[in-house]
Amino acid sequence: MQELLTQFDSVWAFLGLILGFSFLIFVHELGHHLVAKWVGIKVTQFAIGFGPSMAAWRKGIGFKAGSTEPELNRRLKKYLEDNADPGEVEVDLEKVPPKKIDEATAAIGLGETEYRLNWVPLGGYVKMLGQEDLNPDASQCQDERSFTAKPIWARACVVSAGVVMNLIFGIVFFVAAFMIGVEFPPAIVGSVLPGSPASEAYAQGHEKDADYKGLRTGDRITHINDDGITDFADVAVETALASPGQVLRLVIEREGEPQPLTYPIIPREDEHTKLLAVGVGRPISLEVQEPPKGKSLAPVLDKAGVRPGMVVQSVAGTPVKYYDQFAQAVAAAQGLPVPVRFVDPANNQTIEVQLTALPGLFSEDEEEPANVIGLVPPIQLSGVVKKSPADKGGLIKGDILAQVGPTAWPTWNEVVDHVQQAQGGPIRITVMREGKTIQLEPIRPRYDGTIGILYGLALDKPLVARTLPDSPAATLRLNAGSSILSINGQPVASYGQIQRLLVAAAQTGLEKDKPATPDAPAAAVTIGYQPNIANAPPSEDVVQINTAVATQLADATWHQPLGMSPFKMLLIPLKATNPVKAAELGIKKAYQVTCQTYVTLKRLFQGTVKPSHLRGPLGIADDGTTFAKQGSSYLMFFLGLISINLVVINFLPIPIVDGGLMVFLVIEKLKGSPVSVRIQNFATVVGLAMIGSIFLLTLFYDAKRLLGL
């Protein structure tokens, strides 16, 4: 029953999105239509969609299935023949002057404009005399009511009217959304990236005071360079649009500080997004959210009885308020179990869960597998895509890859290479499952060279896939599939225990020998292990750890084991108290969306944004349906986003869209004559090719993403 209701909600949300999107197209074309009428241009068609007409309406004829043009032509021809001079031959409408056609149309009480709904619901158009996007030859029309007969200022008004209407209604949608209320991530610092500008800056007036170095989790950003900040999107936009080297003055409110603090920060380019950023992450709450359909909470939470809606209250007895505080508190235990208390706000019921942080293994570059002193853990599946080749072949979450193709205990890069090299042919995979080795039936990869698996590392077992050459572990007699048994005589059962004991040994060695060269010995560690050889006895060897490796171990990182997925994003309602405030928020959001769209396009050409990141009609429908299911305010907000994006896209200098037409008008103004029909025809073909290519490309990536391919 619940699934049926969910589907019902999705259908209504989708229909609401379609109606809203159709309305955006309608108001865009209405802008062109009204201004064209205002400057005296004859409009022959006002259409929503492309292709043949499904239904149409014309003054004097009414509604008709298909087009009203056959009926219009029949009546015009009859009228002209009835009023023709004696002896005139049969009337050919194509040879009748436009002015005479207009007079005849008015005389018999018919409208000159056909309003039509076409079969292909992808956009719309206004067909004006002397101007047709898909027929530049129409510009040769010399009628006084044609588009080309009007002065450049009038044509520019007509061309720009569509985006002006979308801009107006984009703001209107935002105003409607903010009058109802929409939730956004607040302008609260959720995390601070180590080494980022936000972590290195000092509060103004507290320079060189360690207590005021860097922003902190929980800091609320109220202003950037005197501009008020309402939500975290404001922070991202203000920093991304800063000039290189520009100093941003972030005013923050911090718990325990009686007065706001000001941090002068110079943004730097983020290595992943390639956008200017200060290095702060948006806040995540500590409320457990409903898992995605078909999935459950983390096993440790399920087993303890933690339910969606419960909130992390404390870690080891210390209260926590934000996700980053929780994550740091769990990591601080360095792989030892730490009690985490969850509370149900509805009934104040509490549940205590023991969480153990996972080790953050080391890797110098992407080609080097994660390791600790050269010990490389095997690949473990963190997920298997439903109905994928891996799923059909019997792979399950938690399987450890013991062999893929010819390689035993492969790295992830080797897995990817073998699957792609199979070129759709069968590939043999052997896994370790619950301590047993299982050889699966051959699996055939998909056309794109994947089999549908997500990977992680087997950190909860002391298995060794390999040792890195020239590493401390390389001196051990370990073969692939061996197990570590002990560190300095203490038994180990996971990589967390291995790293914790190695860190302790390294720190002891560094404290004894300061200073030392990187190659100087820092600690000797006794490692017990079981080779992966039949009937081989356990062994024990001493490994020398030099100062460089010991220093690396001393800086070892830890991560809380749940990840971010079980927790809700921290959101607060953004609701205006009156229409004026709603309008202010709407205009501000319109500006932000416009800037973000232009920055995205810029990054697309730079290569830092990939085509796979874009959304076409299919992706927009999917995202929009998700938005609309959250309520009417979210649908309004999404339509506002789309409307503003239409403004940007339509006014790009691309042939056949409004921006391209405006470029032709500018050229005509500068050179004193219109752009030649030959060039217009060429530009039309190029524009159609560009738009068609983008449509097919985004359709491909949208379909691939939605189908999980």
409-433 pLDDT, tens digit each: 998 888 888 888 887 788 999 999 9
472 and 603 inside one domain: no
Residue 635 lies in a domain: yes
In the block, which residue shows the tokens 């007079």? 103
480 and 378 inside one domain: yes
Q: Lowest mean pLDDT: which of 206-220, 269-283, 434-448?
A: 269-283
Residue 144 lies in a domain: no
408 and 514 inside one domain: yes
Q: What is the total count of domains within the chain?
A: 3
Q: Indicate if the pLDDT at residue 534 is higher than 60.
A: yes
Tell me what pLDDT residue 689 has.
76
376 and 440 inside one domain: yes
Tell me what pLDDT residue 614 has.
62
513 and 656 inside one domain: no
Tell me what pLDDT residue 553 has.
87
Give the integer Cα–Cα distance in Å for 190 and 65: 58
Tell me what pLDDT residue 430 has.
92
395 and 501 inside one domain: yes
Mean pLDDT, residues 571-597: 80
pLDDT over 90, % of the chain? 27
* Domain boundaries, position 490: 363-556
pLDDT tier at 2, thresholds 50, 70, 90: very low
Mean pLDDT, residues 357-379: 84
Q: Indicate if the pLDDT at residue 195 is higher than 80.
A: yes
The number of CA neighbours under 13 Å toward the Cβ of 5 is: 2
**Domain boundary, last residue among 304, 335, 356:** 356
Choose between 370 and 623: higher pLDDT.
370
In the block, which residue shows the tokens 């610092």? 189
Per-residue tokens: 360: 């953050």
Give the integer Cα–Cα distance in Å for 701 and 709: 9
Alpha helices in 39-88 (DSSP H): 69-82
Give the integer Cα–Cα distance in Å for 271 and 608: 10
Tell me what pLDDT residue 3 has.
42
Mean pLDDT, residues 590-609: 69
Residue 471 lies in a domain: yes
**Domain boundary, last residue among 306, 335, 356:** 356
494 and 543 inside one domain: yes
The number of CA neighbours under 13 Å toward the Cβ of 357 is: 23
Measured from the Cβ of residue 425, the count of other Cβ atoms closer than 10 Å reads 9
Contact 166, 24 (CB under 8 A): yes
Tell me what pLDDT residue 416 has.
87
Tell me what pLDDT residue 132 has.
62
Residue 82 lies in a domain: no
Residue 245 lies in a domain: no
Give kind and range of the element (H or E) at residue 690.
helix 677-706
636 and 582 inside one domain: yes
The number of CA neighbours under 13 Å toward the Cβ of 433 is: 13
Residue 667 lies in a domain: yes
346 and 368 inside one domain: no
337 and 369 inside one domain: no
Choose between 562 and 595: higher pLDDT.
562
Residue 247 lies in a domain: no
Q: Lowest mean pLDDT: which of 27-31, 375-379, 584-588?
A: 584-588
Q: Indicate if the pLDDT at residue 176 is higher than 70.
A: yes
* pLDDT 10s digits, 325-357: 999 999 999 889 999 999 999 899 999 999 999
Contacts of 320 (CB under 8 A, 6+ apart): 286, 312, 313, 314, 326, 329
594 and 626 inside one domain: yes
402 and 549 inside one domain: yes
Mean pLDDT, residues 216-234: 89
Q: Residue 292 sits in a domain of what CATH number?
A: 2.30.42.10
Residue 444 lies in a domain: yes
Strand-pairing partners, residue 433, are 436
pLDDT tier at 487, thresholds 50, 70, 90: very high
Mean pLDDT, residues 261-274: 85
- Rounded to 5 degrees, φ, ψ at 249 are -100, 100
Whether omega before 291 lies within 30 degrees of 0, making that bond cis, reads: no
pLDDT over 70, % of the chain? 87
Q: Indicate if the pLDDT at residue 678 is higher than 90.
A: no
Strand-pairing partners, residue 343, are 311, 350
**Domain boundary, last residue among 356, 386, 412:** 356
Choose between 296 and 188: higher pLDDT.
188
Tell me what pLDDT residue 250 has.
94
Q: Indicate if the pLDDT at residue 315 is higher than 90.
A: yes
pLDDT tier at 6, thresholds 50, 70, 90: very low
Tell me what pLDDT residue 182 has.
81
Burial class of 426 by CB neighbour count within 10 A (0 to 12, 13 to 18, 19+): exposed
Question: Which among 288-297, 416-425, 556-565, 621-630 has the top mean pLDDT?
Answer: 556-565
- Rounded to 5 degrees, φ, ψ at 549 are -70, -40
Contact 576, 178 (CB under 8 A): yes
Give the integer Cα–Cα distance in Å for 427 and 415: 11
Give the integer Cα–Cα distance in Å for 684 and 663: 13
Tell me what pLDDT residue 619 has.
53
Contacts of 108 (CB under 8 A, 6+ apart): 60, 75, 76, 79
Query: Sign of torsion, CA 627 632 634 639?
Result: positive
